[in-house]
Amino acid sequence: MTTTHFKNADWIVAWDESAQSHTYIRNGDLVFTDNEITFVGKGYDGAADTVIDGSDLCLIPGFVDIHAHPASEVFYRGIREDHSVPEHHMTGLYERSCVFNIEKESLKYGAEVSYADLMMSGVTTLVDIVFPYPGWTDVMKRSGMRMYAAPGFNTATWYRDNAHQLKYRENIAQGEKDFAAAMELIDELRADNTGRLNGIVSPVQIDNNTDEILVESHKAAKERGVPWTTHASQSVVEFNIMVERHGKTPIQYLADLGLLGRGTILGHAMVIDDNDWVRWHSETDLQLLGESHTAVAHCPTPFMRYGTTMQHFGRYKDAGVVMGIGTDTIPHNYIEDLRYAAVLARVASHNGHAASTADVFHAGTVGGAEALMRDDLGRLAVGAKADIVVLDGTHPVMMPLRDLLASLIHSAAERAVKDVYIDGIQTVKDHQCLTLDRERGLAKVAEAQPRMEASVPNRDYLNRSSLEIFPLSLPIAGD
């Protein structure tokens, strides 16, 4: 057994069990033995193998990212930031998904880059939603992250043959085969002896799956005691298609199938019945989510680029929804997403108190842990896992350091992240990832991106080039 003692840390964001909230401790001590926190407070006088001077250091719990696509999204850097499709109510998801095909052999390099970026922004637990690819398990293990792998499956896929419609190709047999393979992988990961690998059952999109496989997969998750997640109410397009199919909203559809409740995490759940983009006749979706204590993975970044946002974080929280935060896309900077969640809630509600800094920090830590049905993550408390983020309190954009979380979330973001420990093992030291080769991964992604773009005309219904669909921000002189 190895004991590490952070002595006299300037700031500690500790968990107050009686208040069920985080609290500040000034000039305190934190101790962990192997992978478990054994002391948080002041005046530790026990033995330790390693003592770390906590002067100028700030300790916070590791973040719990409950929705991300790390392997693929980095390939869209420089492509998706300005991409919106007016005929699809501004979302670019469907056009992008239909025209791009990333080489499966290159996806592991995308994961290598994004896992490193996530850890360097303080993420210690990650829900990684992806269709399985070669090398995925290896890069998960090497990263040292606490992983909830979500191997995806669908019984249908999207396609487009005109500008305004989204169409579906059904292949139920393939979906069932992929579901079986996903469960095998989840069972394999849960048997891993490190204890850091786990699974989450993930029919990827609500509109791309049959009632039967949604219900069957939810049952499989319940039997294993693992969470279940899907994308739902993520766009006006999807909302309208589900209403056309079933005569009810996506949330009402899930409720009627018995799929809401603790252990269910819905990706986005933004376009609900009373959202300004749809204004459906009912106003029950938020109540259904809140009364069932369903979790919602709020990912502000992709949607604000389309010109929309959740309406709004504070309202969902007050309704009883278990709110967590996901990164979803590039730049995979978790702290920036916390900032956007707070600010966009205030904009959407015309209320500067709609979502406080403490509210979004709670969602990014304890909220995410609750969504994953874990009471030992997202907090610095005795008995919790030693998932610890060490901040540099002297970084210029943290100073003057009057309020730790305000400085971190609204000013410094990942620039203040100095060290990261996951399960008691250091994965980031002095702002650098120790476990993954980020530079090699970036080089491989940069090589693969042009090949991905070259295939776009063969996949686009108008045979347009990638540059025609996704033009550069400025023209290149002389071209």
Place 325 in a pLDDT band, splitting at 50, 70 and 90.
Answer: very high
| pLDDT (average), residues 230-236 | 98
The residue with greater pLDDT, 478 or 464, is 464
Distance between CA atoms of residues 407 and 120, nearest Å: 17
pLDDT at 479: 74
| pLDDT (average), residues 129-155 | 98
Distance between CA atoms of residues 336 and 419, nearest Å: 18
> Strand, helix or coil at 388?
strand
Place 155 in a pLDDT band, splitting at 50, 70 and 90.
Answer: very high
The dihedrals phi and psi of 225, each to the nearest 5 degrees, come to 70, 30
> pLDDT tens digit string along 62-85?
999 999 999 999 999 999 999 999
> pLDDT tens digit string along 3-51?
999 999 999 999 999 999 999 999 999 999 999 999 999 999 999 999 9
Pairing of strands 295-298, 264-268: parallel
Residue spans of beta strands (DSSP E) within 238-345: 264-268, 295-298, 322-325
In the chain, what percentage of residues exceed pLDDT 70? 100
Q: Would you call the peptide bond into 134 cis, given omega within 30 degrees of 0 as the criterion?
A: no
Pairing of strands 425-429, 417-422: antiparallel
In the chain, what percentage of residues exceed pLDDT 90? 99
Distance between CA atoms of residues 271 and 233, nearest Å: 5
- Over 90: is that where the pLDDT of 478 sits? no
Average pLDDT along the chain: 97
The pTM of the full predicted model, rounded to 2 decimals, is 0.97
**269, 315, 320: which is closest to 293 by C-alpha?**
320
Interhelix angle 107-120/136-143, nearest 10 degrees? 20
> pLDDT tens digit string along 370-410?
999 999 999 999 999 999 999 999 999 999 999 999 999 99
**335, 215, 315, 229: which is closest to 274 by C-alpha?**
315
**257, 272, 252, 72: which is closest to 152 by C-alpha?**
72
Measured CA to CA in angstroms, residue 28 lies from 206, 352, 361 at distances of 47, 32, 20
Contact 200, 228 (CB under 8 A): yes
User: One-letter amino acid identity for 58?
Assistant: C
